[in-house]
Structure 1
Amino acid sequence: MDRSYVLVACACLAIGISVAVTRGPQVDEGLREALPAQAESTDFTTSNTCQSCHPDQYDSWHRSYHRTMTQVATTGEVLGDFNDVVLETRGHEWTLEVRGEELWVEMPDPAWFEQPAWFQQ
């Protein structure tokens, strides 16, 4: 084999490896900005206002998931285990992990599944 072909192949391999190594998970700043924010204003009406006039409804709501389902997912709020947990099903893996104060899930790209209806089963 000609030496120039080997050099070109090695150069292409080196470029491919450096691109793969330098491209980590991308943070979507638009998504980060779209997350719900906790209201800091003191003039905002909270659920405590409803409690005095509607105690039964307040108690029912307070026991449900409704009061917590719109919170930002943080290490202090999420009850599930994210300490390098690997979930497996049907030959695919989801890895749950904590990175600093962020919760991450590494998952297969749904477009890679041979049967898109897999999620509907």
Structure 2
Amino acid sequence: GSSGSSGRSAHLRVRQLPHAPEHPVATLSTVERRAINLTWTKPFDGNSPLIRYILEMSENNAPWTVLLASVDPKATSVTVKGLVPARSYQFRLCAVNDVGKGQFSKDTERVSLPESGPSSG
């Protein structure tokens, strides 16, 4: 057992909303067709472990929609598949801990999928 410490520390770590994920970057997948790789840097978690990330997408300047509502909090990358050729995509994400949902990251650069040529056998 621990002995000698009477009373709790006066410096309680205040739990707060997590910060926005940093450096979000979207790039065309070199492995899969019609897929985009998204990477980011884990943000400050607000002194409370991250529960999940929420990933939003904007297609062709459309309003933001939730693409993935529960991304693994340990992840710092995700591959978005099944996208449509000749359209452009933008992404942003936010972190969630038990306090709530933090700010969204900056939007990624807009990534345009190449138009699909004739599919080769």
Query: TM range, normalised to the smaller chain?
Result: under 0.3
Larger Rg: 1
Higher relative contact order (CA 8 A, sep 6+): 2
Q: What is the TM-score with the length of structure 1 in the denominator?
A: 0.20
TM-score by length of 2: 0.20
Which structure has greater helix proportion? 1
